[in-house]
């Protein structure tokens, strides 16, 4: 009686090749490796899935999803034993090390073993070493993407510092301008057109058409006529001026135009962070790459600053934001003062009473005609002191507290407030360095 040969083990093969991968990681080469490995180990590959030009940073890949939904997790799929993948990096370059392990564990639960063919079948007595090796290779795969992302980011920073575009679409009323190797203009790029050689550069420039004039009109309506963003949107719609998408204007769209510094000829990069498929977040202004006078402006810097001042008073949420900033800064300042007084040997109760009496006032810096102004108000009990400490808050800076003033109490009028500007002689007299603030607070404490 003839003895039948043992049934071949069966496998599904998965291949992935992304845009940044080298040619030796191409899908055809991965397939060739997989077929040789299967033949050598007497395994039949019954199905293949592949992702061409797909990043391994997430599992959101068509072939990877089909692999799980139609085969691994599908109870009606044909039987198979293994999932063949060329190496750990082809499975994915996940930034969270638990994610690739999670998908591999799903395979294990369904009785399917993931085999990395570049390493071969692990020996039973070397399972622990194999697991450790896989963990290390997962980290290396993720680190490769992190390093690549850093290189791309710093390249974009360098380009942006020179005033050129590092990618992205132009703002409404602006166009992308192609420059040659000598940084001389070649032509304005249309939608879908990109530079063709590496030593060319792309910058922005006013479109000099109806859209550019619409931007100027928005700023004029705001600054000269105090029209609100909603009123400006209504005016544009009545004139039949569409958005870049050919739709009607809304208040939010007008606000985006009126608050975009690009119209002053300023190139800004790194306002947000969202690399490596991670959640986007807003970066603080101190991390922005800002290059002024990078290209011709649509509106002057002075007009832009005036527009921000008008928006501040027209939009309730903006000045409410200032009120909240004052409250937050007040609490932070109280904490710093309390720490200082406790170091002087005061008890917690004494510190609390002293802080309540100290003549410290906060105010938001605002602009009129592009000149910084401050307004401070004192309470009646503060008139018992010779000086008050004025703390200036700037809403458009990374650190909200930006200046300190040592103001003589007799500078306040009978209504208990004072307004002065950057150009006033008293501003220089009132201004004190941050380093002497502690000394001034201690001098106030002695009189409390």
Does residue 44 lie in a domain region?
yes
CATH number of the domain that 61 lies in?
3.40.50.1390
CB distance 118 to 33 below 8 Å: yes
Both tokens assigned to 430: 């009132």
Strands 401-408, 387-393: pairing kind: antiparallel
Same domain, 191 and 299: yes
Domain range holding 405?
332-447
Does residue 323 lie in a domain region?
no
User: What is the dihedral sign for C-alpha 291, 296, 300, 305?
Assistant: negative
Same domain, 302 and 181: yes
CA–CA distance, 37 with 86 (Å, rounded to integer): 10
Does residue 23 lie in a domain region?
yes
Indicate the residue among 110, 126, 146 that finishes a domain.
146
Does residue 213 lie in a domain region?
yes
Same domain, 211 and 261: yes
| Number of domains within the chain | 3
Same domain, 215 and 289: yes
CA–CA distance, 309 with 299 (Å, rounded to integer): 15
Same domain, 141 and 220: no
| Cut 0.75: pTM above it | no
Does residue 102 lie in a domain region?
yes
Q: How far is CA 392 from the centre of its chain?
A: 27
Please report, for the chain, how many H helices and E strands are present, in that order: 13, 18
Does residue 401 lie in a domain region?
yes
Same domain, 394 and 286: no
CATH number of the domain that 212 lies in?
3.90.1750.20
pLDDT tens-digit profile, the chain (448 residues): 444 455 689 999 999 988 766 676 789 999 999 999 999 999 999 999 999 988 888 899 999 999 999 999 999 999 999 999 999 989 988 888 889 999 999 999 999 999 999 999 988 777 777 787 888 888 787 777 777 767 766 677 677 777 777 777 889 999 988 888 777 888 888 877 766 666 678 888 999 999 999 999 999 999 999 899 999 999 999 999 999 999 999 999 999 999 999 999 988 888 776 655 667 677 776 778 888 888 999 999 889 988 887 887 777 655 556 566 666 666 666 777 777 777 777 787 777 777 778 888 888 787 766 678 888 889 888 988 999 999 887 655 545 677 899 999 999 877 788 989 988 999 999 999 988 988 888 888 776 6
CA–CA distance, 68 with 66 (Å, rounded to integer): 5
Indicate the residue among 107, 130, 146 that finishes a domain.
146
Which residue's entry shows tokens 């959640």?
279
Determine the 3-state secondary structure of 69 from DSSP: helix
Please report the beta strands in 253-386, taking only residues with DSSP state E, as ranges in sequence order: 267-269, 272-273, 281-282, 289-291, 360-364, 366-368, 371-377
Same domain, 128 and 238: no
Both tokens assigned to 218: 């928005």
Which residue's entry shows tokens 């007497």?
42
Does residue 156 lie in a domain region?
no
CA–CA distance, 2 with 8 (Å, rounded to integer): 18
Does residue 234 lie in a domain region?
yes
Same domain, 413 and 442: yes
Same domain, 113 and 231: no
Which residue's entry shows tokens 């969270």?
96
């Amino acid at each position: 009686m003839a003895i039948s040969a043992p049934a071949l083990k069966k496998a599904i093969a998965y291949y992935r090749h992304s845009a940044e991968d080298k040619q030796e990681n191409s899908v055809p080469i991965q397939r060739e490796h997989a077929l040789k490995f299967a033949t050598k180990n007497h395994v039949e590959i019954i199905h293949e899935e592949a992702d061409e030009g797909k990043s391994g940073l997430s599992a959101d890949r068509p072939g990877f999803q089909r692999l799980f939904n139609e085969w691994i997790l599908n109870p009606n799929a044909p039987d198979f034993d293994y999932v063949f993948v060329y190496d750990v990096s082809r499975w994915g370059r996940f930034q969270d090390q638990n994610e690739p392990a999670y998908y591999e564990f799903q395979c294990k639960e369904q009785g399917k073993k993931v085999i990395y063919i570049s390493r071969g079948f692990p020996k039973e007595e070397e399972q622990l070493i194999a697991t450790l090796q896989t963990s290390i290779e997962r980290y290396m795969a993720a680190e490769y993407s992190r390093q690549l992302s850093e290189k791309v980011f710093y390249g974009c920073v360098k380009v942006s510092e020179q005033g050129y575009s590092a990618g992205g679409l132009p703002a409404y009323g602006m166009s992308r301008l192609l420059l040659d190797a000598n940084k001389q203009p070649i032509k304005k790029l249309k939608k879908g057109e990109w530079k063709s050689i590496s030593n060319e550069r792309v910058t922005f420039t006013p479109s000099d058409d109806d859209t550019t004039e619409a931007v100027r009109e928005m700023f004029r309506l705001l600054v000269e006529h105090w029209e609100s963003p909603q009123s400006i949107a209504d005016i544009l719609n009545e004139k039949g001026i569409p958005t870049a998408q050919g739709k009607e204007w809304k208040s939010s769209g007008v606000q985006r135009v009126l608050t975009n510094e690009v119209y002053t000829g300023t190139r800004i990069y790194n306002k947000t962070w969202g690399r490596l498929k991670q959640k986007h977040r807003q970066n603080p202004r101190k991390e922005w790459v800002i290059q002024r006078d990078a290209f011709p402006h649509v509106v002057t810097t002075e007009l832009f600053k005036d527009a921000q001042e008008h928006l501040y008073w027209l939009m309730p949420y903006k000045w409410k934001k200032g009120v909240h900033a004052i409250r937050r800064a007040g609490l932070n300042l109280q904490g710093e003062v309390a720490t200082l007084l406790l170091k002087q040997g005061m008890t917690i109760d004494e510190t609390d009473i002293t802080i309540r009496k100290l003549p410290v006032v906060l105010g938001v810096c605002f602009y009129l005609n592009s000149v910084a102004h401050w307004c401070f108000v004192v309470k009646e009990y503060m008139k018992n002191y010779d000086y008050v400490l004025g703390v200036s808050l700037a809403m458009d800076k990374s650190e909200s507290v930006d200046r300190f003033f040592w103001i003589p109490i007799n500078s306040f009028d009978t209504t208990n407030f004072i307004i002065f500007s950057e150009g006033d002689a008293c501003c220089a007299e009132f201004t004190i360095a941050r380093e002497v603030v502690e000394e001034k607070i201690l001098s106030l404490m002695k009189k409390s």
